[in-house]
Structure 1
């Protein structure tokens, strides 16, 4: 999600730009894996489409699925969307740039939101072998071990999910939401956050530290971001296949994790409950309060599909939905 990508870049050293050249992994799937992926997507509501228009009475909502990382192909997408979106009365983001700037200012004086400031560090809570593996992956991302040892587990997992090449790219966080933020600012359109940063971090940090570390170690094999994963995600996003990308990540994560199916599903479902289900429910409280105006709802594309997705929830709330050009 946008905030976590932002935080990762905030704390990581930025060096010369490096291209994230990777290959889409989907064509390499075996026939069995491809069939499993198709089965997983088959029954998911609203599996595709990055631009939907939801209408109810005099309320019009442009629902835009975003990708939080840079891809030059987004420039033409924004050009196509601009004529319609520039007429909106308001833009709603997961977190606005203004709120992120304020959080960054506070973070400079108090890192406790993302760092362990007292008590045992991750070195104390992990075994030597596990910590050595994490240290190697973090060194590849320019994160020294002494800093990583004090990162909160949920934040460390997000750092590891970002490929090393992205950590070296100063434009890495200039994704679709950042571009739409600029569009709103250029047109003087008010912007609003769908969630408070403090509430979001409290949710991520709601489990005991020891439990967070256990989950971090369990999923270590599945969370390491690579150039190929980034290319797969970006291509899937621009093909508007957000449900497929989530299910592909789940399929690949299980294969890479080395866990039993039951243990992996428990971890994945917990992740999905926090990152998608709970947050979508909270966002819908704000979205349903928007009336008698045209608004843009720009959130990560992964929040659109499935029973808990924003599109299905809007339809259940009586909105008529139409897929629009992206």
Structure 2
């Protein structure tokens, strides 16, 4: 989910989740325990969001067809139901499109191994020098829970650490103990495509993660950390809440929960929070969604020439919204039908 970047950063550090990690960790569903007025406010904020509900969709225009699957990037036994639902759609498919295919993943891993500076700022001021003592204490404590010593974190790039704050400490501990095996829906669908002899194509270059937060001011970088600190202590609860919402086909509520939580608990000015949320949506979702339309259309056209269609699987939070992939395809003249209702 656009959480995809937050969760995927664990992969960039060489970590992942196994089935054991996904099932042993416990937490609360925050929607079930929050005050009724807060739940109502979050629900109201999702009203009118295009294609808010659903995980599997059919998009058609003339002889072009794209089957779109919103994914959750970690293991869960409930993925079996989604795979069963999608299985008939492989008939006539000519390719699978994903955020990052096997070749791109290999290039990313090689780049990270060859150049530590991609994740570390070896020359600038350290984070203890840039943050207040209280902020650094909270950050270093939260990262210690995630297995990152303060001495290492002090020179890591702020965008990376802000994403790490969204990861469940329990899941990370279990991942380390289980060898870092990741079997999320993306990987399961890539396995299915390869078993069927279909090519797996990437929607974006391997180095996209490093370009998402270019040109941020030093203060914007630090505000990313500040905006994510409130949820860091509830990361296990967020993991449960996110997963439950995903399998209910209602992922936009997670985005609005993050917004609500930042306003309630970050201590930042409301204008700063709104700017941070807008920045994250623009960099993590909207820009990437718009960039994906061209490769989706190119693949669909090539498939149509062969009398077939394409399947696309990517983080579920990229599907809904004004600048979501579904709404962008609708603007291109595609008729959108939900398949998992």
Q: TM-score, normalised by structure 2?
A: 0.88
Aligned length: 326
- Secondary structure of 2:295's counterpart equals helix
Rounded Cα–Cα distance in structure 1 between residues aligned with 2:182 and 2:234 = 15
Which secondary structure state, in structure 2, belongs to the residue aligned with residue 204 of structure 1?
coil
Aligned to 2:48: 43
Deviates more, 1:108-117 or 1:252-261: 252-261
Are 1:56 and 1:318, in contact at CA under 8 Å, matched by a contact in 2?
A: yes
Residue of structure 2 aligned with 1:311, choices 310, 319, 326: 326
Residue 210 of structure 1: CA displacement?
4.5
Asked whether 1:235 is paired with 2:244, we answer: yes
Contact kept? 1:114, 1:151, Cα under 8 Å: yes
Match of 2:221 among 204, 207, 212: 212
Residues 1:113 and 1:283: Cα distance change in structure 2 (over 3 Å) = same
Q: CA deviation at 1:26?
A: 1.0
Root mean square deviation, CA, Å: 2.3
How do 1:62-141 residues align onto structure 2 when only pairs under 5 Å count?
62-85=67-90, 87-141=92-146
> What TM-score do the two structures reach when normalised by structure 1?
0.91
Which deviates the most, 20-29 or 44-53?
20-29
* 1:146 counterpart = 2:161: no
Q: Identify unmatched segments of 5+ residues in structure 1.
A: none
What pairs up with 1:164-179 in 2 under 5 angstroms? 164-170=169-175, 173-179=182-188
Cα deviation per residue 1:122-144 (whole Å; 9 max; x = unaligned)?
Answer: 22222222212111111111111
CA distance 1:140–1:51, shift in 2 (3 Å): same
* Structure 2 residue corresponding to 1:191, chosen from 194, 200, 203: 200
Residue 334 of structure 2 corresponds to residue 322 of structure 1 = no
Residue 248 to residue 204, structure 1, CA distance change in 2 (3 Å): same
284-293 or 97-106: which moved more?
A: 284-293
The Cα of 1:198 is off from its aligned counterpart by: 2.0
User: Paired residue for 2:314?
Assistant: 299
Contact 1:161 1:224 in 2 (8 A): no
Contact 2:16 2:182 in 1 (8 A): no
Superposition deviation, residue 213 in structure 1: 2.0
- Residues 1:4 and 1:47: Cα distance change in structure 2 (over 3 Å): closer
CA distance in 1, matches of 2:185, 2:61: 26
Which of 266, 270, 273 is the equivalent residue of 1:261?
Answer: 270
Are 1:5 and 2:7 matched, yes or no?
yes
Q: Structure 1 CA distance, aligned partners of 2:110 and 2:163? A: 21
Question: In the TM superposition, what is the alpha-carbon distance from 1:99 to its structure 2 partner?
Answer: 0.8
Deviation at 1:12, TM superposition (A): 6.3
